[in-house]
Structure 1
Amino acid sequence: MNAHVIPPAAPPNAPVVALRDVHKSFGALKVLDGVSFAVGRGEVIVLIGRSGSGKSTALRCIDRFETIDGGEIEVCGRRVDDARLDVRALRQDVGIVFQSYNLFPHLTIEENITLAPHAVKKVPKAEARALAAKVLAQVGLEEKLHAYPEQLSGGQQQRAAIARSLAMQPKVMLFDEVTSALDPELTGEVLKVIEALAADGMTMVLVTHEMSFARGIADQVVFMHKGKVHEAGPAGILSSPSTPELAQFVGTGL
């Protein structure tokens, strides 16, 4: 008997992602301490904060890479904290890109991109190849279809990783410090791709240290501090923080 539960259709104005009083510990270390925020359709939410504040853990909980100890997470109408969750179905709706590109080195960029649509979504090979060409064009890499990852720069590999996620046609994209391993020039080319996705209406949650980028792209900024949402609001909070902790973090309190 299949224990998976088909989620009811979410109302059209429901948030795409919602965290409600989420708690998570690793052993004695409390990493998320009652975290709540919501992401509307087409919104870009940027999570900021010092290393160890819980940002990346919150992101990994959204995609069920980590399970939570308390609270609720809802994504695309699915309860992520439900033990009966169909994780495979969830990950068809949620794309995630990490700071390490995680491309398969022995496969071409086209093969890296077509693998999941063909294996998971049963997209026919010819259709998957057409999809790969389309998403590579979206990230400005159409000429790298038959290249191997080692033949690409770090910025190009990160853009290829974004294209691979887009090929699954997700409803929400998660980005975890995707530019932290790149030099400034390569960082810029990756951020342009993310800006274009935002302009196209993709729902996104980003963890980043790029404050000027956050100011320009965020519909909402969530500042995490010691496992809690310490301050949240529109991008303007980066210019006029309400708390000394955020002021110090963005440099205005120094």
Structure 2
Amino acid sequence: MPAALEQANESVVSVKDVIKEFGPLRVLDGVGLEVERGQTVAIVGRSGSGKSTLLRCIAGLETVQGGSITVCGHPVGRPGSAARAQLRRDVGMVFQSYNLFPHLNVERNITLALTLVKKESKGEAKRRAAEVLAMVGLTDKIASYPEQLSGGQQQRVAIARSLALQPQVMLFDEVTSALDPELTAEVLGVMENLAHQGMTMISVTHEMGFARRVADVVVFMHQGKVWETGPTAEVFANPRTAEFKQFVGSEL
């Protein structure tokens, strides 16, 4: 059972006044965000609005120039390997590209981190791999290699690999952007099931149907800022800014 299911109504991710710059370019400009345990948050907006950069900052993959990020009570960006290890335990991230090892079969792609990083026994790692593959509907692909899988199946394996580490929050960065509609539906179905099970999730997505149907909270980013945020039905029904109204209209 993922750790995220154990408690509710508790802040898991806290982003306060975050500034992120790449040289002279300010990509995040005073961004703030709170995510409670068990919530599904969809971050939407046009390309270049800072969505993916925000996700990478939460995952500790980028260093911020201002503000603070806290995940599961631990400040992100603390120096030291122990802090980085704690963040890796707390956060699972799935990217647009599947990042599977092509020379390893599905089971070993999942068990590698469990045996090398978490020092689990081979038997326990195999048991966990079977468990998470069942969660994403790929039990029959346990011995397959990535090249034998469709793009949707590879992305579901990438999700299973993250779930195997039992993170408290899952981050998804446009995970369906490279997939055709049928494969997109496969992956979104897995994410929807995770949401129903109570996994805390932050998803950068251009799939507005998924955002409307599954997300508890929608965050609209524009020009490196959180432009609008709130309960999904409320935000979509009553856009407060011309920018979000135009964005929603262009997605229909």
Q: Same fold (TM over 0.5)?
A: yes
Q: CA deviation at 1:82?
A: 2.8
Counterparts of 2:215 and 2:196, CA distance in 1: 11
Q: Equivalent residue for 2:108? A: 111
Which residue among 242, 245, 248 is the counterpart of 1:247? 245
Three-state SS of the structure 2 residue aligned to 1:221 is: strand
Counterparts of 1:51 and 1:174, CA distance in 2: 18
Which residue among 9, 26, 51 is the counterpart of 2:22? 26
Which residue among 38, 43, 59 is the counterpart of 2:39? 43
Three-state SS of the structure 1 residue aligned to 2:11 is: coil
What is the percentage of aligned positions where both structures have the same residue? 63
Q: Which one-letter code corresponds to 1:38 in the other structure?
A: E
Q: CA deviation at 1:240?
A: 2.4
Root-mean-square deviation (CA, aligned residues, Å) is 1.6
Is 1:56 the equivalent of 2:31?
no
Is 1:82 the equivalent of 2:78?
yes
Three-state SS of the structure 2 residue aligned to 1:251 is: helix
Q: Equivalent residue for 1:163? A: 160
The gaps in structure 1 that reach 5 residues or longer are 1-10
Instruction: Report the TM-score when normalising by structure 2.
Output: 0.94
Q: Which one-letter code corresponds to 1:32 in the other structure?
A: L
Deviations 1:36-72 (A, max 9, x none): 0110000011100111100000000011100100001
Three-state SS of the structure 2 residue aligned to 1:170 is: coil
Q: Is the 8 A contact 2:9 2:38 kept in 1?
A: no
Which residue among 27, 52, 68 is the counterpart of 2:64? 68
Q: Which is richer in helix?
A: 2
Counterparts of 1:15 and 1:38, CA distance in 2: 7
Q: Equivalent residue for 1:15? A: 11
Q: Is the 8 A contact 1:244 1:253 kept in 2?
A: no
Q: Is the 8 A contact 1:247 1:253 kept in 2?
A: no
Counterparts of 2:124 and 2:77, CA distance in 1: 34
Three-state SS of the structure 2 residue aligned to 1:64 is: coil
Q: Equivalent residue for 2:3? A: none
Q: CA deviation at 1:14?
A: 4.0
Runs of at least 4 residues off by over 6 Å? none
Counterparts of 1:175 and 1:253, CA distance in 2: 20
